[in-house]
Chains A and B, each alone.
Chain A
Amino acid sequence: MTTARERILAQQNTPWKKGVRRLQGLMLDTILMLLVLLMIEFLALAFSGRRGPTGLLLTPEEILDLLSYPWLVTVAFVLATLWNLFYRPLGTSPGRATVRGVMPEEEFLPWTQTSRGWFTALLIQLTFFTGWLITEVQLLTFLTKFSKAADIVRGLMNPSADVLHQGLVLLVQTIFLAFMATAFAIPLAFALSFVAARNLTRGNWVARWSYTLARTVMNLTRAVEPLVWALIFISWVGIGPFAGVLALWVHSVAALTKLYSEQIESIDTGPVEAITATGASTLQVLRYGVVPQIIPPFLSFTIYRWDINVRMSTIIGFVGGGGIGYILKPRVDLGAWGEVGTLVILIAVTVWAMDIVSAKVRERIV
């Protein structure tokens, strides 16, 4: 007769599940190996002195086009497969370590004594040097060519009083715009956060699917820049602060849902256990065991979000979403640096004040 333990372990280690895990590890290794190979080729090409069709040294973009992708994918796959096959003498590969854990004898070794430690170090090094070239870092120019920007800086430091009045009026609009966006976001994010919390959605398949759905929709929403949302809502409700409110609202719902649900995931399970044990229903457990624990961090996140929304609404204004950004953009385009300076100072002071106030308030409630 088999014991309960053997049956559970057998369920977890069906040949199918084992195979899937093996494949996951191999895929991860292939991707990491491919990254290393690509970056090595990139750096080799960059330092080879080869010249492009224009006769100049290759630009990073041109090098990216030249890399031998199909060939390197094959090599990476072969190397990863070898590493996965001969992991005993070679040391556990990073992919295998992530998906299936390391060999016991490697468990407590420092990174300098494992092959995957050196591999990771190499990966990080390569990423830094490749990044240096791809983002065209030019330290010398940065350190020596300040004079070109001096005009702008001088303008900013001599703010003009011409836009002060209009600026202040629009600043008030900005703060309220951010506030309304946050306020509209709270109820929706609150409701969604329970569905998007892993620890509350293990019960049945409906709960698990709602979790996946909520998370996916929220991540997609968050991935779209508020600027794009602003353009959508401007053509929906017309130019003005309301379009800005809607744009920040959508983004805030997604961001707050994520923050809220992470907070729910990290609650103390003790009270939940205690309330469940009294025979309370699911809703009562949420009301007594979960909600009291999450209210203070929720408040704190919400105030923080308002703070962020004030900053973001400046950019929203650039495209016509109301707020102070609306009059900032034309002045930047015209090079009216004195007036830009006034507006920048107004924004900076507000953001700074909000930051201090929100930090103080958050300190009090947590």
Chain B
Amino acid sequence: MSGERGIVIDARGLSKVFPDGTQALDNVDLEVREGEFLAILGLSGSGKSTLLRCLNRLIEPTEGSVSIFGEDVTRARGKKLRKIRSDIAMIFQQFNLVRRHTVLINVLSGALGRSGLLSSALLRFSEYERKKAMGFLERVGLKGRESSRADALSGGQQQRVAIARALMQEARLVLADEPVASLDPALRHSIMRHIEDLNRKEGMTVVCTLHDIDLVRRYATRLVALRAGRKVWEGTAEQFDGDTFREIYGEDAEPASNTMI
């Protein structure tokens, strides 16, 4: 059914070799269509995070091309690159909030891509932006915490601030890098549901690296698996079975009993 939808990400032949000779990505193609919730699977070190970061050029790919919403990301410079990035929200495993700033400033910083230099240097945002930020905080269940310092919040709350920041950015694409891996298992679904909301209610396309098979099957519409920097498998959640599991994670890996039926 996704066949007639527009292409959001079109990455071709992506390779990344770090200066120490580590090959993190090896000739990876990735195509993501509008409205998809794509999960990227793989062991740690398989290149998942590098792949996400190559998409918005937080990491410079060694080879290959990326185009997002039809714009050539790999060739973009300066203003053009910032414009493309402002359309792509990012959520991180370690939340990456500015710890000493207030929760509200952290949410507002999502709007930096469209705010003036001087006003943002003075941490001044319009009343309109502030109201909007407060609304997003309420939506992620953090009403009343706007003037707390970010590092005073628990991990789950910090990740919700990061989600409000992504909302504030008004992006059309969300890249989430292991968004729940450093959270208490009990909180994982709460965060994943917020990300699902970004996908369903806001219509944002989501690309999310995950290693918990349960979560992948519950939230993702499509899966891509990496192993040692190569794309080894691609398909829907339903097609994913024990054989695929061993193909991705190696012969020694054992799916946890409750994850596979």
List residues of A whose CB falls within 8 A of some B CB. Answer: 3-5, 8-9, 12, 268, 270-271, 273-281, 283-284, 287-289, 292-293, 295-296
Contact indicator A271/B96 (Cβ below 8 Å): yes
B88: contacting residue among A277, A287, A293, CB under 8 A: A277
Stretch at the interface among B32-40, B107-115, B201-209: B107-115
Interface centre among B96, B100, B111 (most CB of A within 10 A): B96
Closest to B78 in A: A281
The interface residues of chain B lying within 8 Å CB-to-CB of A295 are 100
Contact indicator B98/A275 (Cβ below 8 Å): yes
Give chain B interface residues in 18-44, CB to chain A under 8 Å.
19, 21, 23, 26
**Residue-by-residue, is B1-22 near A (CB-CB < 8 Å gives 1, otherwise 0)?**
0000000000000011101010
A273: contacting residue among B16, B58, B165, CB under 8 A: B58
Is residue B223 contacting chain A, with contact meaning CB distance below 8 A?
A: no
Docked Cα-Cα span, A274 to B99, in Å, equals 12
Contact indicator A279/B83 (Cβ below 8 Å): yes
A to B CB contacts below 8 Å, 7 in the list: A274-B90, A277-B56, A278-B110, A278-B111, A281-B82, A289-B98, A292-B98
Top-10 shortest CB links A-B: A279-B113, A279-B86, A270-B96, A274-B96, A279-B85, A280-B112, A277-B90, A4-B15, A279-B82, A8-B17
The interface residues of chain B lying within 8 Å CB-to-CB of A289 are 98
Docked Cα-Cα span, A253 to B113, in Å, equals 34
Docked Cα-Cα span, A278 to B114, in Å, equals 9
Is residue B117 contacting chain A, with contact meaning CB distance below 8 A?
A: yes
Given contact pairs A280-B82, A288-B101, a sample of 6 additional A-B residue pairs in the complex whose CB atoms are under 8 Å apart: A8-B21, A277-B175, A279-B169, A284-B117, A293-B98, A295-B100
A280 shortest CB reach to chain B, Å: 4
Contact indicator B121/A287 (Cβ below 8 Å): yes
Docked Cα-Cα span, A4 to B14, in Å, equals 10
The interface residues of chain A lying within 8 Å CB-to-CB of B136 are none
The count of chain B contact residues (Cβ–Cβ below 8 Å) is 42
Contact indicator B62/A270 (Cβ below 8 Å): no
Contact indicator B100/A293 (Cβ below 8 Å): yes
Contact indicator A284/B120 (Cβ below 8 Å): yes
B54 shortest CB reach to chain A, Å: 13
Contact indicator A271/B97 (Cβ below 8 Å): yes
B62: contacting residue among A4, A280, A288, CB under 8 A: A4
Contact indicator B117/A281 (Cβ below 8 Å): yes
The interface residues of chain B lying within 8 Å CB-to-CB of A288 are 98, 101, 109, 112, 120
Contact indicator B85/A5 (Cβ below 8 Å): no
Is residue B84 contacting chain A, with contact meaning CB distance below 8 A?
A: yes
The interface residues of chain B lying within 8 Å CB-to-CB of A9 are 21
Is residue B71 contacting chain A, with contact meaning CB distance below 8 A?
A: no
Docked Cα-Cα span, A295 to B92, in Å, equals 24
A24 shortest CB reach to chain B, Å: 18
Interface centre among A9, A279, A288, A296 (most CB of B within 10 A): A279
Closest to A286 in B: B121
Docked Cα-Cα span, A210 to B69, in Å, equals 37
The interface residues of chain B lying within 8 Å CB-to-CB of A296 are 100
Contact indicator A279/B99 (Cβ below 8 Å): no
The interface residues of chain A lying within 8 Å CB-to-CB of B97 are 271, 274
A276: contacting residue among B19, B58, B114, B162, CB under 8 A: B58
Closest to A293 in B: B100
The interface residues of chain A lying within 8 Å CB-to-CB of B121 are 283-284, 287
Contact indicator B92/A12 (Cβ below 8 Å): no
Known contacts A271-B99, A274-B92, A289-B98; decide if A279 and B84 are in contact (CB<8 Å): yes
The interface residues of chain A lying within 8 Å CB-to-CB of B111 are 278
Is residue B221 contacting chain A, with contact meaning CB distance below 8 A?
A: no
Contact indicator A4/B82 (Cβ below 8 Å): no
A11 shortest CB reach to chain B, Å: 10
Docked Cα-Cα span, A274 to B165, in Å, equals 10
The interface residues of chain A lying within 8 Å CB-to-CB of B19 are 8, 12
